[in-house]
Amino acid sequence: MTPPEYERSNGGLTELLPPLTKHEALVEATRCLMCYDAPCTQACPTHIDIPQFIKKIYTGNLRGSARTILESNLLGATCARVCPVQELCEGACVLGAEHKPIAIGRLQRHAMDYAYAQGGRMFPVAPASGFAVAVIGAGPAGLSCAGELAKRGHSVTVFERRELGGGLSTYGIIALREPVEVALAEVAMIERMGVKVERGADAASFSLADLQARFAAVFLSVGLGATPELAIPGEDLVEDGLEYIEKSKVGGEKLRIGRNVVVIGAGNTAIDCATIAKRLGAERVTMVYRRTEHEMTAYPHEYEFIKREGVGFEFLAQPARVYAESGAVSALECVRMRLGAKDNSGRAAPEPIEGSAFVIPADQIVKAIGQKKPALAELWKLKTERGFIQVSEEFETSVPGVFAGGDCVRARGAASTVMAVQDGKLAARAIGERLVGSG
């Protein structure tokens, strides 16, 4: 399928926030104090020179504004939409304390929308260095690394398992936050920089030795795996949260929305699944989580959002069994939990309360309880840390010349698109220095 065929997909969902009008952007840009060595820039994992791009919006230099963003973050259009700005740039804005912080995310989207409307040709193809690099996975980390390497003149081939590039931006973030075409336009922009993207190429079928023979360096940005098992009776009737989102976006298989939907989990993906269910017609959506609202991994602004969507919660509830009637889900049995001592994640560990089983009627159950660790690590015999690929400060794995970044190395800290973009950028720098010597 070509991008235009997806444009009217997105499950009928459009972006939650409208684009800023030119006037709104100008007024907002005017409010920016243009701090020096600004906290927003420090707080941004990719350290975009935010005051500079905002000043350029103010002066009407939108092309330059987009360029400033892309110089630090090649996936500026995605990040403008999906970044938890409250926790990052906007959370650090000096105007936040007494006034409203500058709407940095929306201003960034304004500049990026302009750049893509103009054709998204921001970087020329660089003169060839003679080095070839393989990137495994066309998600944010891979695209960022590939683009940064291409800027240095390296010949980059990205191997993408799926039919479309973009990774979670394409498949795993609801259209309300990022429509498919935004992610695909970014892939196209990276390709125009000279990067080759081979789609339908599963790295699991490659041998690492073979790759290393063909390429001077390899960058792994394979993300994480499928949703882990709940290990409860009737699990085969439970739908996978990431697939749920994927169907809502690229609609290869039409998404069925239940009338009475239960979402298991309380992270970003769970919030997204509940949002889809609610917006696409479910009468009742209940999120089931074994801890409380204080431990949930979704951001506070996401929790506030989903409450306003009218989604209900069952906190301190652990799924125990799925009931079915004539092959269809009819209910979820849960056990009531209480919080005990802190576990090794630093959060209070939930413990079941005996004899507390209860049943939530449901005709659709979706699980979004995280992702499995990358399988490729074991296959290619890479050292891991708590299941994630172990990397050095330079993003190099235990195998010399093989680098990795993005969610597959995120053993610590919150996994996010912008962190993946930064990993890709820093890894590209390390790879580039390795190939041609520093400088």
Partner 1 sequence: MGKGWWGVADLSINFAGIRSPNPFWLASAPPANSGAQIHRAFEAGWGGAVWKTIGAPVLNVSNRYGAWHYGGQKMLAINNVELISDRPFETNLREIAEVKRAWPDRAVIVSAMVESKPDTWHDIIRRIQDTGADGIELNYGCPHGMSERGMGSAVGQVPEYCEQITRWVMEVAKIPVIVKLTPNISDITVPARAAAAAGANALSLINTINSIVGVDLDSLEITPNIGGKGGHGGYAGPAVKPIALNMLAALGRDSVVAGSRLPISGMGGISDWRDAAEFLLLGASSLQVCTAVMHYGFRIIEDLCDGLSNWMDEKGFASIADVAGKSLARVSDFNNFDLSFRAVARIDQEKCVRCNLCYVACNDTAHQCIDLIAKDGSIVAPYGHDERVNGRVVVETRPRVQVREVDCVGCRLCFNVCPVEGCIAMVEEPSGRAAVTWGQITQREPAVTEDWQAMEKYRAKMGIEIH
State the residues that interact with partner 1 by CB under 8 A. Answer: 26-27, 30-31, 33-39, 42-45, 47, 86-88, 91-92, 94-95, 97, 422, 426
Q: Based on CB atoms, which residue is closest to partner 1, 89 or 317?
A: 89
CA 308, 314, 320 angle in degrees (round to 5)?
145
Q: Which is nearer to partner 1, 77 or 88 (CB)?
A: 88
Specify the residue, 21 or 30, whose C-beta has the smaller distance to partner 1: 30
Q: How far is the CB of 422 from partner 1 (least distance, A)?
A: 8
> Closest distance between partner 1 and the C-beta of residue 210, in Å?
33
Cα separations in angstroms, 287 against 184, 325, 355, 367, 368 = 31, 22, 22, 10, 10
Specify whether the CB–CB gap between 290 and 316 falls below 8 A: yes
Cβ-based nearer residue to partner 1, 78 or 170: 78
Strand, helix or coil at 265?
A: coil
Is residue 111 within 8 A of residue 66, CB to CB? The reply is yes
Cα Rg for the chain, rounded, in angstroms?
22
Helix or strand (DSSP H, E) at 331: strand 328-342
Q: How far is the CB of 93 from partner 1 (least distance, A)?
A: 9
- State how far the Cα of 416 lies from the Cα of 155, in Å rounded to an integer: 27
Rounded to the nearest angstrom, the gap between the alpha carbon of residue 104 and the centroid of all alpha carbons in its chain is 19
Nearest distance in Å: CB 268, partner 1? 16
Q: Choose between 95 and 436: whose C-beta lies nearer to partner 1.
A: 95
Q: Are 410 and 395 in contact (CB under 8 A)?
A: no
Nearer Cβ to partner 1, position 106 or 279?
A: 106
Between 108 and 286, CB nearer to partner 1: 108
C-beta of 412: minimal distance to partner 1 in Å? Answer: 11
SS percent in the chain: helix, strand, coil, step 5: 40, 20, 45
The least distance separating partner 1 from the CB of residue 81, rounded to whole angstroms, comes to 18
Please, are residues 264 and 230 in contact by the beta-carbon 8 Å criterion? Answer: yes
**Cβ atoms of residues 323 and 333 within 8 Å:** yes
Please say whether the dihedral angle defined by the alpha carbons of residues 430, 382, 195 and 19, taken in this order, is positive or negative. Answer: negative
Local structure of 225: helix, strand or coil: coil
Amino acid 180 reads V
Rounded to a whole number of angstroms, the minimum distance from the CB of residue 38 to partner 1 is 8
Nearer residue to partner 1 within complex by CB, 299 or 305:
299
* Amino acid residing at 105: G
- HSE (CB half, 13 Å, CA atoms) of 262? 25
Cβ 353 to partner 1, closest distance in Å?
36
